[in-house]
Amino acid sequence: MIIALAAAAAFLTFLVAALGTGIAMLTVTVNGALPGGGCIGDGGIGGGSQSIGGTPWNAEQTENAATIVDLVLRRGMPKRAAVIAISTVIVESGLVNVGHGDRDSLGLFQQRPSQGWGSPEQVLNPAYATRTFLDRLVALPGWARMPPGRAAQAVQRSAFPDRYAPQEAQAAALVDRFWVGPDIPVPTPAAPTGANVLAASVFACPDQGGAGFPVAPSEVDPRRLPPAFTPPADPAQRAAVTYALAQLGKPYVWGGKGPDSFDCSGLMLAAWAAAGVPIPAGTVNQKTAGTPATLATLAPGDLLFSAGSLGSPSNPRHVGMYVGHGLVVDARDSATGVVLQPLADWTGRVVSVRHIAGQATSTRQLP
């Protein structure tokens, strides 16, 4: 009798623990966050290096894989689309947003501007590149039922058509890691893809993240350039700064990489892509981009990192761009959007500075 009671108590303890785990997992999924921490987007689920499916992937690679899965989900497409897209990217770029390739190939998918894939700025934006790949994928009749590698080759038209199929197992493991909810049925000809769109309330990330400090009252209009502002002379810096400033007033959306909305790291990614300079997605990756700099050697286009609302001095989770003339542009939070601020509002909060490209500044007078 005592043994039976002990066994029953042990089973009850196990059942309560299992139910607790299940409830916790359900809560995480409904709130839009993903197991492993964070949402897809700024410094999000990618995190540090991970072993997925027996393969080690670094933070930039997992961030890009998560972005692809996110976009497939938002379009209401089945897992198969994400597997095809990620297997393609593993082959073409190793899941790294590179600024070089065969002839004029660029970015995750090594898309060629000369072949109608978009401008260099566009194909260097992982979100744009993925959307373009998916557009061409769904235009293939029966794409979801093609043999491994066939759909990828039909889109990419590679000189090495047999490279994609062997990567589908690794791609499937990455998709399983970042997919939220059940698989989405393959659309039939009578039911277009849009009919299967996943409800935004299920997958969309909750309102979180951001700078973590308010826009202080100042003489600087947060949504308009001062009349005397002049862009930097260096061509790369000028292109990045001009792009970032053109986004003033646009909304902040967690995981946004443009062109209609941005999170902080998404704005930096898109701005430097406009200059033809690829940088990683996500603050956790951007904090090691380029070369180290300081507030005393700031140049236009340099990235300024602060702890943000979700980070710490050793793990910064917010980033802005110094644009010159003592000003910083950043996508701050969902209540503020993309704004311009005096550098003085940042100086007590900056924990790291990275110089990306162009002419570096030797010394400057701090405000």
Q: What is the pLDDT of residues 225-282, one digit of tens each?
A: 888 899 999 999 999 999 999 999 999 988 888 889 999 999 999 999 999 999 988 8
DSSP H or E stretch at residue 15 = helix 2-31
pLDDT given for residue 188 in this prediction: 60
Report the pLDDT averaged over residues 79-90. Answer: 97
Residue 3 confidence (pLDDT) above 70: no
pLDDT for position 209: 54
Task: Please name the residues in contact with 87: beta carbons below 8 A apart, sequence gap of 6 or more.
Answer: 149, 152, 164, 165, 167, 168, 170, 171
Q: Average pLDDT in the 317-338 region?
A: 93
Report the share of the chain in percent with pLDDT over 90: 52
Task: List pLDDT tens digits, range 146-191.
Answer: 999 999 999 999 989 999 999 999 999 999 999 999 999 886 654 4
Under the banding of pLDDT at 50, 70 and 90, the label for residue 295 is very high
Lookup result for tokens 């590179």 = 98
More confident residue, 281 or 9: 281
User: Torsions phi, psi of 324, nearest 5?
Assistant: 100, 170
Question: Is it the case that residue 10 has pLDDT exceeding 80?
Answer: no
